[in-house]
Chains A and B, each alone.
Chain A
C-alpha cells in the first residue's frame, strides 16, 4: 500500500449526517468483480435518477468538483454494514480522505486498510468547512504528519487513531507483518488448546 503523508486536492461537500455504507454502495452492486471498478456506484441512489443520469442533488456531480480527492461530511459517516465495498467505491472514485465529525468503527478500519484517511474534526469545524465549500472554496490540503487541514484560513486540526496514522504513514499491510509471526501464532494455539480444550468445535 502506498504511504499517505500529505494530500492536496479538490474537495467536495456532502452535507449529510449518517451516510451509511448502504448509501455509499447499494447492496445490488456488490456482485460486481472489483476489477471492473466500483467508483461509478458511489452514492448511486442519491446521485442518479431512474434514467441513470445525475440528478445534480450532490456536489459530487458538479463539474467544478471533478477529480475530487477529499470529501467533507457530517457525523456518523460510514455507519452500518461492514461492506468494504463502500470504501472501494470511494477509493475507485478517486477519494483518499473523508473529513467528518465521526465515523463508523468498521468503516474507519476498512478505510485505512485501503489507504483512505478518515479524518475526525469537531462538529463546528465540519460545519465551517461545509459553509466554505458551499461558498466556492475548492481545494484543501490534508497533512497527516501534522494532523491539520489547511484552506485559506486557520489550519484545522483533525484526529486520527494513532495506529491508523502509523499504518497510513508507512503504507503497512497487516497481513505481510503477521505472516512473519506464523510460529508464534502456532505456539499460542497449541498452548491455548491445553488451556481451553472445550473451545475446539466438537462435531466435524
Chain B
C-alpha cells in the first residue's frame, strides 16, 4: 500500500504511486517505466550501454521510431547526406542488436513518435512513458505520466526499465467555459504560456481540467499536453474519460475484450479525487481566448492576432525588456508593429504538435479553393495520417493551393533532416518552438495553429483565420 493511499489524490499521484519500486532517503523514487520510445538521438545512450557492456533490460517495453532525421522526399532512395543517413542507420542497428521493435523508414506505421504511440495503442491511460524528447508530455492526453529525458536517463531506462525521479509539484490549469469558433487547443496552450511565462510551470506536473478541456477532441488534448514543456512543465495530463476509451479501443497494441473492460474500469478511476489538493491552481476563461501567434523567440512571446508586437521601452522589468529588444531584433520586427502587418516567406504544417488528421483538416478547411501566396511544406504526423488524408482528399487541397505534400517526420520543426527555413526568412509554423535558429540558422518562426498557418499562407502575412473559416466548419 502506498503511503498516500487513503487520502484524496490527484490523477498524477495515482499513476505515480502505482509505479514506485522504491524510495530513497533523499526523497527520490525509483519508477517502473511502462513504455520507452527511442529515436535517432538515442545513439549516445546505446553507446553508454556498449561502454558498460549492458543489455537492454526490457526490449518488449521499448519501441524504436525513426522520425527526427528521416527525409520527407524521395523516401525510396538512399539518404544523400552521410551524417543524416548514419543517424537513421545507427537506430536500425541498435534496435536490431537489442531485439527492439522499430517503426523504421520502410514501415507503413512510421511517423513522429508522439503521433505513432497513440495511433498504435502503445499510449494508454495510467502508464509511465519516457523518451529522449521533451515533447513526450504529449502522451499525457490519455492520462499517462509521460515526460522527456536526457541521454544519461535513456541509458538508465534501457539498462533497468526504471528511472529515479523526484516527485514534481502538482499544478492544475483549468480552462472554464467555451472556446469561440476558430479557436483551439494551440491557442489555449499559447494563451497560458504567454500568461505564466516559458518557465511558469517549472518543477510542476500539470493537470489540465475544466469544461473547455473536456470538450476537446483527443487530438486537441494531445496538442495541449504537447506544449506543456514550452511553459516549463515537467509533463501535462488529462484524466481519462469515455472519449479516451473510445479512442484507445481497437488500437493494434491496446488490450482487447475482457482485458480492455477491466482496464477501462481502472482508467476511469484515475481521475483526481474531488477534494485532492494541488500546489498551484490557475483558472483561465476559455471564451476570452483569441487565435494567438508568437512574435518573438520564446513561446511566451505570444499575443492575439488582433494585437501588436510589444514596445520594450514600455516594459517595466529591465530583464524582460532586454529579452524583448533582442527578440524583436532577431525577428526583424519594429516595436508596436501590428501582427497582421507581418509578411511571411513560407509556411510549415507539421510536427508532433499539429500534424494529426484533425490539424490537416483544419488547415485544409481554410485552404480549399484558395491559393497560397507563399511556398510551404505540409508533412503529416505519421505515414498512416498521410494515407488517411489522401483518402479524404486533403492532399489535393494542399497541392492545388501550391503547397508541397511530403512524407512524415519531424521535418522542418527541427530541421535535422535538411528541411530548413533559409537565414532571415520568416515562417508561419504549426510547430512548438520559435527559438533562434530552431528551423535553421537565422530562421524566423511564428508559432500558430494549423488554421492560422493556412490563413497566413493565403494572405502572405500573419492573418486571422476566423473570417476565412466562415461557413466552412
Q: State whether these chains interact.
A: yes
Picked from B35, B61, B160, the residue with its CB within 8 Å of the CB of A175 is B160
Q: Is B415 engaged at the interface, CB distance under 8 Å to the other chain?
A: yes
Task: Give the residues in chain B near A166, CB-CB below 8 Å.
Answer: 26
Q: Contact check, B150 vs A87: say whether CB atoms are below 8 A apart.
A: yes
Q: Which of chain B's residues 409-448 have a Cβ closer than 8 Å to chain A? A: 414-416, 433, 435-438, 441-442
Q: How close is A147's CB to chain B, nearest CB, in angstroms?
A: 16
Q: Which of chain A's residues 44-103 have a Cβ closer than 8 Å to chain B? A: 45-46, 74-76, 79-85, 87, 102-103
Q: Contact check, A83 vs B41: say whether CB atoms are below 8 A apart.
A: yes
Q: Contact check, A105 vs B126: say whether CB atoms are below 8 A apart.
A: no
Q: Is B371 engaged at the interface, CB distance under 8 Å to the other chain?
A: no
Q: Contact check, A178 vs B156: say whether CB atoms are below 8 A apart.
A: yes
A76-B232, A199-B124 known; A34+B30 contact, CB < 8 A: no
Task: Give the residues in chain B near A22, CB-CB below 8 Å.
Answer: 433, 435-438
Q: Contact check, B437 vs A178: say whether CB atoms are below 8 A apart.
A: no
Question: Complex formed: what's the CA distance from A196 to B122 in Å?
Answer: 15
Picked from A74, A106, A196, the residue with its CB within 8 Å of the CB of B150 is A106
Question: Complex formed: what's the CA distance from A17 to B28 in Å?
Answer: 30
Task: Give the residues in chain A near B203, CB-CB below 8 Å.
Answer: 105
Task: Give the residues in chain B near A74, CB-CB below 8 Å.
Answer: 319, 322-323
What is the number of residues of chain A that contact chain B, defined by CB distance less than 8 Å?
A: 62
Picked from B151, B232, B252, B442, the residue with its CB within 8 Å of the CB of A104 is B232
Question: Complex formed: what's the CA distance from A80 to B319 in Å?
Answer: 20
Q: Contact check, B151 vs A84: say whether CB atoms are below 8 A apart.
A: yes
A74-B319, A188-B21, A203-B253 known; A82+B133 contact, CB < 8 A: yes
A185-B161, A202-B254 known; A45+B199 contact, CB < 8 A: no
Q: Is A127 engaged at the interface, CB distance under 8 Å to the other chain?
A: yes
Q: Which of chain A's residues 1-59 have a Cβ closer than 8 Å to chain B? A: 15-18, 20, 22-23, 26-28, 30-31, 34, 45-46
Q: How close is B18's CB to chain A, nearest CB, in angstroms?
A: 7
Contact with A along B31-71 (1 / 0, CB 8 A): 01011000001001001000010100110110000000000
Q: Is A197 engaged at the interface, CB distance under 8 Å to the other chain?
A: yes
Q: Contact check, B126 vs A199: say whether CB atoms are below 8 A apart.
A: yes
Question: Complex formed: what's the CA distance from A15 to B436 in Å?
Answer: 16
Counting chain B residues whose Cβ lies within 8 A of the other chain, the interface size class is 35 or more
Task: Give the residues in chain B near A113, CB-CB below 8 Å.
Answer: 150, 152-153
Q: Contact check, B164 vs A174: say whether CB atoms are below 8 A apart.
A: yes
Residue with the highest number of chain B CB atoms closer than 10 Å, among A20, A46, A74, A200: A20
A22-B438, A199-B124 known; A178+B160 contact, CB < 8 A: yes
> Which A residue's beta carbon lies closest to that of B418?
A28
Q: How close is A94's CB to chain B, nearest CB, in angstroms?
A: 20
Q: Contact check, A27 vs B416: say whether CB atoms are below 8 A apart.
A: yes
Question: Complex formed: what's the CA distance from A30 to B449 in Å?
Answer: 29
Q: Contact check, A79 vs B198: say whether CB atoms are below 8 A apart.
A: yes
Q: Is B132 engaged at the interface, CB distance under 8 Å to the other chain?
A: yes
Q: Contact check, A18 vs B22: say whether CB atoms are below 8 A apart.
A: no
Q: Is A153 engaged at the interface, CB distance under 8 Å to the other chain?
A: no
Q: How close is A112's CB to chain B, nearest CB, in angstroms?
A: 9
Q: Contact check, B149 vs A106: say whether CB atoms are below 8 A apart.
A: yes
Q: Contact check, B52 vs A175: say whether CB atoms are below 8 A apart.
A: yes
Task: Give the residues in chain A near B152, CB-CB below 8 Å.
Answer: 84, 110, 113-114, 174-175
Q: Contact check, B259 vs A75: say whether CB atoms are below 8 A apart.
A: no
Q: Is B375 engaged at the interface, CB distance under 8 Å to the other chain?
A: no
Q: Is B320 engaged at the interface, CB distance under 8 Å to the other chain?
A: yes
Picked from B148, B166, B168, B435, the residue with its CB within 8 Å of the CB of A23 is B435
Q: Contact check, B149 vs A46: say whether CB atoms are below 8 A apart.
A: no
Q: How close is B196's CB to chain A, nearest CB, in angstroms?
A: 12
Q: How close is B367's CB to chain A, nearest CB, in angstroms?
A: 29
Q: How close is A21's CB to chain B, nearest CB, in angstroms?
A: 9
Question: Complex formed: what's the CA distance from A75 to B298 in Å?
Answer: 12
Q: Which of chain B's residues 198-249 have a Cβ closer than 8 Å to chain A? A: 198-199, 202-203, 229-230, 232, 234
Q: Contact check, B441 vs A31: say whether CB atoms are below 8 A apart.
A: no
Q: Is B256 engaged at the interface, CB distance under 8 Å to the other chain?
A: yes
Residue with the highest number of chain B CB atoms closer than 10 Å, among A20, A175, A200: A175
Q: Is A134 engaged at the interface, CB distance under 8 Å to the other chain?
A: no
Q: How close is A160's CB to chain B, nearest CB, in angstroms?
A: 12
Residue with the highest number of chain B CB atoms closer than 10 Å, among A15, A79, A174, A182: A79
Q: Contact check, A31 vs B86: say whether CB atoms are below 8 A apart.
A: yes
Q: Contact check, A188 vs B32: say whether CB atoms are below 8 A apart.
A: yes
A105-B232, A198-B262, A201-B253 known; A162+B26 contact, CB < 8 A: yes
A30-B416, A166-B26 known; A184+B21 contact, CB < 8 A: yes
Question: Complex formed: what's the CA distance from A23 to B433 in Å?
Answer: 12
Q: Which of chain A's residues 175-204 have a Cβ closer than 8 Å to chain B? A: 175, 178-179, 181-182, 184-185, 188-189, 192, 195-204
Q: Contact check, B164 vs A178: say whether CB atoms are below 8 A apart.
A: yes
Question: Complex formed: what's the CA distance from A198 to B199 in Å?
Answer: 36
Task: Give the residues in chain A near B161, CB-CB below 8 Å.
Answer: 185, 189
Task: Give the residues in chain B near A76, CB-CB below 8 Å.
Answer: 197-199, 232, 298
Q: Could you jot down 29 A-B contacts, CB within 8 Å?
A: A17-B319, A18-B300, A26-B437, A27-B416, A28-B415, A31-B84, A45-B442, A82-B149, A102-B199, A102-B232, A104-B199, A105-B202, A105-B232, A110-B152, A162-B26, A163-B166, A175-B156, A175-B159, A175-B160, A181-B21, A184-B22, A185-B30, A185-B162, A189-B58, A196-B126, A198-B124, A198-B255, A199-B34, A202-B253
What 10 pairs across the A-B complex have the smallest Cβ distances?
Answer: A198-B263, A110-B150, A113-B152, A84-B150, A84-B151, A198-B255, A31-B83, A82-B148, A17-B323, A76-B199
Known: A161-B166, A178-B30, A181-B30. 8 other contacts (CB 8 A): A81-B414, A82-B133, A83-B150, A106-B229, A127-B318, A192-B18, A192-B32, A202-B255
Instruction: Give me the interface of A with B, judged by CB distance under 8 Å.
Output: 15-18, 20, 22-23, 26-28, 30-31, 34, 45-46, 74-76, 79-85, 87, 102-106, 109-110, 113-114, 123, 127, 161-163, 166, 174-175, 178-179, 181-182, 184-185, 188-189, 192, 195-204
